[in-house]
Structure 1
Amino acid sequence: MARSSSGIVAGLTVAALAAVGFLGYQASATAPARPAKAAPPSPAPAPNRPAPVTDQGKAVPLPAESGTGTRVVYSVGMKRVWLVGEAGQQPRSFPVMPSTAHPTPGTYLVNSRSSGVTGSDGVPIEHVVRFATADGVVIGFSARVDGQMPEPDPTKKTGGIRMTRADGDAMWAFATINSKVVVVP
């Protein structure tokens, strides 16, 4: 059976296209990924009024009467902390688990820090940022090494205001010695 020259050319063309397609596929599989386009910048907050932060899609505004300037704001009733930086920066906010002893509302300064200790509840903690004393107990922010945030035993006097380890890292970096801490109800 003899093949026509046009049939041979057509067969070679199909084979060549298949080879080129396969090589193109291999090249795309090993090529480095292209970076995605950057999102447009979000609008800047109004001067001297930090934009509210969100918590699972809900806006969580900074409490009224929480001071000015760079500071940590702790709301005992809301069980929440805000790390308020320079004017125009959006504050970071996160939930916390309060201790059984509470500082009175007012302005404090961070007076000591420890990278890792045992908490007043007997649990290993890290990134301890102390700022007050209440009911004879030292009050400070910290994160449990095991990452948990259970409610404290109400029968024990404890001073640890607990947060996640990631939030504890942020607090540790932000609240150095003599940083302002404003406690609101």
Structure 2
Amino acid sequence: MRAVPAPKVWVTGLTVGAIAAVGALAVQAEKGPHPTAAKARPGASASPGKSPAPTKTTAPAAVPKSSGTGRRVVYSLGQKRVWLVDASEESRRTFAVWAGTVSPDPGTYTVSSRNTATTGSDGVQIENIIYFAAKSGISIAFSNAVDGSSPPPAEGKQTGGIRMRAADGAALWTFGETGTSVVVVK
């Protein structure tokens, strides 16, 4: 007669196998392409719910020279890029973003409030919302879509959301505590 392994052994074996499979898939996903913001083309139209395909960058961009000093978040309007700069002037992370239709003026701001999740003015569920400015009655904040999508083109709406990938939103949420400086440059 053949001995049948105890149910605990089967469950443990299946659990270890599942963890290994998830780990392998995570490594493959990390090696795959990652989106970056694409430059908008005047007059280009996109299907509802779709946005232009992001482009991949090869080397991280340098922190703009005119972005101040000390621990800060730097947002470049022209490059549509954010840097998280620590107190030693090292860029800890940089990433592309999708800007809303209302942009802050260049200058230095402070993270005024944070909200873990809400619905954006475009109807998309967003998280990691970090408010730092207002213009023409529109709040301007960094956030990421819960579903990972980039915002569709705003048709006649004024939006102050600066969107990013979910991983970048989580990093900015950790870095951008209330009171953190946000420097906006051209």
TM-score computed with the length of structure 2 as normaliser: 0.67
SS at match of 1:121: coil
Aligned to 1:73: 74
Aligned to 1:51: none
Do the aligned partners of residues 128 and 59 (structure 1) sit closer, same or farther apart at CA in structure 2, a change above 3 Å counting?
closer
Deviation (angstroms), 1:91 = 2.8
2-side partners of 1:93 and 1:154: how far apart?
Answer: 29
1-side partners of 2:84 and 2:125: how far apart?
Answer: 24
Q: Retained in 2: the 8 A contact 1:79–1:97?
A: yes
Aligned to 2:158: 157
Aligned positions of 1:11-30 closer than 5 A? none
1:149 aligned partner, one-letter code: S
CA RMSD of aligned residues (A): 1.4
Do the aligned partners of residues 86 and 158 (structure 1) sit closer, same or farther apart at CA in structure 2, a change above 3 Å counting?
same
Aligned to 2:64: 63
SS at match of 2:182: strand
Q: Which has the larger radius of gyration?
A: 1
Deviation (angstroms), 1:86 = 2.4
Percent identity, aligned pairs only, is 50
1-side partners of 2:67 and 2:155: how far apart?
Answer: 28
Do the aligned partners of residues 85 and 153 (structure 1) sit closer, same or farther apart at CA in structure 2, a change above 3 Å counting?
same
1:96 aligned partner, one-letter code: V
1:66 aligned partner, one-letter code: S
TM-score computed with the length of structure 1 as normaliser: 0.67
Aligned to 1:108: 109
Aligned positions of 1:131-170 closer than 5 A? 131-170=132-171
1:172 aligned partner, one-letter code: W
2-side partners of 1:76 and 1:147: how far apart?
Answer: 22
